[in-house]
């Protein structure tokens, strides 16, 4: 049913004005301007602009450092998303069992949501530091953060750890909507817990899984900046130098404006791609009405 | 689907294990923050708390002006949250309670803004804020974040559940739109406002990249950057002091989280339905 409305000519525009002033000045204009700058080279000191066509894009995609960064960002994101969703789904399933103390378990499992990526970086830095990191002590291996491959594993672990709470909350909410009678009927038909999970629960969770897929992807690509800056600064030897860190360095440290703008545009295309993918899959496969 | 006793026990065991793994880094940080430099650096690592709590927290507070940074972060997070709540309430009211030209286009533009997180526009955003003279200034850390697609959608969803009869009745009583908004709609929206406030406060308190770029003097830094500064200042790996800083930085968002946990869960549930 359609909602009743008020009659007014100007008022709705007045109500929307503050939001649109902010959107235009700080979102739309900067976005368009960034895209424009990606076609220019900008002098680091004078700020003089010169049209350069696709020069910046050609430059970034022939730069082995950038391509390396592109590759590890993809791997990093893939790992953060897969591990993050798998662990949080398992924990949410356990939490969904009707047991005593569930409320307390829930609180103590989701609260890292309130912590920042930078805090996660500091905590994992302490756990794995080469001097006396506690993990180093118990594993007898003290070079976790000083070797590229293990440092890469640790930023994945830290990023997954930090986002578990967020994912668990969404899965818990979704699990409440799984019809108990469907599960019980399947149980009577002789389906074991594993069958029941894959044929019923998993299907009901899929809209949430797709939503979380997008949120975790953007989290891994963008929000992990603070984590990297505190934990590894992109090192050792660029092994954790993901795209957002590379962008920060090119723009802020090296003042390569046009080049950095081109990197921004690549990130934008990634966001658009993921979002389009989400809309398509949510419409086709994962609608259960 | 009855569980056996062993199954119930197994579930408890697994949950306890999960809690242990998730909480371990933070419990350790609490313990380390009470230890002296040599204790925190001892090998094998010392896990039990010691007696340097006060001195560590004092040092952390003083070396990088953590107090000033806590104030900055709190002021910025609260200002952004209030601005976002007001703007999204007004925008959601316009979209749900009026018919007007260009409604679909404007709604579409708000939707588009979701595709433009800070990193995508950071180069020109930095220039815009610089031209406004807002670099190293509270305004540059607050105003650009006032518009909120998430908030607008959250309130639209809430407003849609308010029965139409309420509007009809108010119109009959000669109630003007803004009177209806303040007297009837707003009181019904309290819990959604609470939910959005928690989410936004935590989000802004935890921001890192933009505050790093938009500020350069010590007295304008936010507390997340303070962690990094503390680690650089205590380059001798004085982990006791660093962890004291970490603990202080965690407290405000955790307090907000635990106090408002229920409305936060509700807000989250709404978010995924958008």
Of these ranges, A28-32, A193-197, B61-65, B180-184, the one predicted with the greatest mean pLDDT is A28-32
> What residues of A are in contact with residue B253 (Cβ under 8 Å)?
114-116
Q: Does A31 touch chain B if contact means CB atoms closer than 8 Å?
A: yes
* Average pLDDT taken over every residue of chain A: 89
Q: Does A84 touch chain B if contact means CB atoms closer than 8 Å?
A: no
The pLDDT, as a whole number, for residue A2 is 56
The pLDDT, as a whole number, for residue A287 is 41
Q: Does B17 touch chain A if contact means CB atoms closer than 8 Å?
A: no
> What residues of A are in contact with residue B124 (Cβ under 8 Å)?
29-34, 37, 261
The pLDDT, as a whole number, for residue B54 is 86
Task: Tell me whether 0.85 is exceeded by the ipTM.
Answer: yes
The pLDDT, as a whole number, for residue A112 is 86
Report residue B50: phi and psi, to 5°: -125, -155
Matching residue, tokens 């119930």 = B8
> How many domains in chain B?
1
Q: pLDDT tens-digit profile of A58-76? A: 999 999 999 999 999 999 9
- Stretch among A56-70, A103-117, B35-49 having the lowest mean pLDDT: B35-49
Residue B19 lies in a domain: no
Residue B17 lies in a domain: no
Residue B255 lies in a domain: yes
The pLDDT, as a whole number, for residue B271 is 59
> Do B93 and A268 lie within an 8 Å CB cutoff?
no
The pLDDT, as a whole number, for residue A288 is 41
CB proximity under 8 Å: B 31-50 to A: 32, 40-45, 47
Residue B4 lies in a domain: no
Q: Does A222 touch chain B if contact means CB atoms closer than 8 Å?
A: yes
DSSP output for B15-54: HHHHHHHHHHHHHHHHHHTTS-HHHHT-SSPP-S--S-HH
> Do B250 and A261 lie within an 8 Å CB cutoff?
no
Instruction: Find the mean pLDDT for residues A28-34.
Output: 95
Q: Which CATH number characterizes residue B170's domain?
A: 1.10.3720.10
Domains of chain A as residue ranges with CATH: 63-284 (1.10.3720.10)
Q: pLDDT tens-digit profile of A36-51? A: 999 999 888 888 888 9
Residue B11 lies in a domain: no
Residue B267 lies in a domain: yes
Q: Is 50 exceeded by the pLDDT of residue A173?
A: yes
Q: pLDDT tens-digit profile of B1-43? A: 567 888 889 999 999 999 999 999 999 889 888 888 778 777 6
Contact assessment for residue A102 and residue B192, using Cβ atoms and an 8 Å cutoff? no
Instruction: List the beta strands (DSSP E) in chain A.
Output: 40-42, 49-51
Provide the shortest C-alpha distance from residue A44 to chain B (in Å). 13
CB proximity under 8 Å: B 148-187 to A: 152, 160, 164, 167-168, 171, 177-178, 180
Residue B217 lies in a domain: yes
Dihedral of the alpha carbons of B48, B50, B54, B58, in degrees to the nearest 10: -80
The residue segments making up the domain with residue B29 are: 25-271
């Amino acid at each position: 049913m359609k909602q009743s409305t008020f009659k007014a000519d100007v008022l709705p525009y007045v109500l929307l004005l503050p939001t649109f002033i902010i959107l235009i000045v700080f979102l739309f204009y900067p976005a368009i301007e960034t895209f424009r700058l990606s076609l220019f080279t900008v002098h680091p000191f004078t700020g003089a602009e010169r049209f350069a066509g696709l020069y910046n894009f050609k430059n970034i995609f022939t730069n082995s450092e950038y391509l390396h960064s592109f590759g590890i960002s993809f791997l990093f994101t893939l790992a953060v998303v897969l591990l993050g969703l798998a662990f949080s789904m398992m924990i949410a399933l356990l939490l969904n069992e009707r047991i005593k103390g569930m409320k307390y378990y829930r609180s103590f499992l989701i609260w890292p949501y309130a912590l920042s990526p930078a805090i996660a970086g500091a905590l994992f830095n302490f756990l794995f530091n080469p001097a006396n990191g506690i993990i180093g002590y118990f594993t007898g291996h003290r070079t976790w953060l000083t070797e590229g491959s293990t440092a890469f594993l640790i930023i994945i672990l830290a990023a997954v750890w930090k986002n578990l709470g967020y994912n668990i909350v969404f899965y818990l909410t979704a699990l409440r909507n799984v019809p108990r009678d469907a599960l019980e009927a399947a149980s009577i038909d002789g389906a074991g817990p594993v069958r029941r999970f894959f044929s019923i629960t998993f299907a009901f969770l899929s809209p949430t899984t797709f939503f979380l897929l997008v949120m975790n992807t953007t989290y891994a690509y963008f929000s992990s900046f603070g984590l990297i800056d505190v934990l590894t600064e992109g090192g050792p030897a660029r092994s954790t130098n993901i795209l957002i860190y590379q962008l920060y360095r090119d723009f802020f440290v090296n003042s390569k404006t046009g080049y950095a703008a081109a990197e921004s545009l690549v990130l934008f295309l990634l966001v658009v791609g993921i979002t389009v993918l989400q809309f398509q899959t949510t419409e086709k496969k994962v609608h259960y009405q | 689907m009855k569980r056996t006793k062993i199954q119930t026990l197994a579930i408890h065991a697994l949950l306890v294990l999960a809690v242990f793994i998730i909480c371990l880094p933070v419990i350790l940080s609490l313990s380390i923050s009470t230890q002296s430099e040599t204790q925190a650096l001892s090998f094998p690592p010392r896990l039990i708390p010691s007696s340097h709590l006060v001195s560590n927290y004092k040092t952390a507070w003083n070396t990088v002006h953590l107090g000033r940074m806590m104030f900055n972060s709190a002021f910025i997070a609260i200002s952004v949250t209030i601005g976002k709540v007001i703007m999204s309430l007004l925008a959601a009211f316009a979209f749900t309670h009026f018919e007007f030209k260009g409604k679909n286009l404007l709604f579409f533009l708000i939707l588009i803004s979701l595709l433009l997180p800070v990193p995508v526009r950071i180069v020109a955003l930095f220039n815009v804020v610089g031209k406004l003279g807002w670099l190293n200034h509270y305004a540059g850390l607050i105003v650009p974040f006032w518009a909120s697609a998430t908030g607008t959608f959250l309130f639209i969803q809430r407003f849609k559940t308010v029965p139409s009869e309420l509007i009809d009745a108010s119109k009959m009583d000669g109630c003007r739109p803004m009177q209806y908004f303040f007297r009837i709609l707003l009181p019904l929206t309290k819990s959604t406002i609470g939910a959005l406030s928690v989410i936004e406060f935590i989000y802004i308190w935890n921001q890192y990249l933009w505050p790093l770029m938009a500020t350069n003097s010590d007295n304008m830094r936010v507390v997340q950057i303070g962690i990094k500064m503390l680690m650089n200042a205590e380059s001798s790996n004085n982990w006791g002091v660093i962890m004291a800083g970490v603990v202080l930085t965690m407290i405000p968002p955790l307090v907000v989280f635990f106090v408002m946990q229920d409305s936060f869960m509700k807000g989250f549930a709404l978010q995924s339905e958008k």
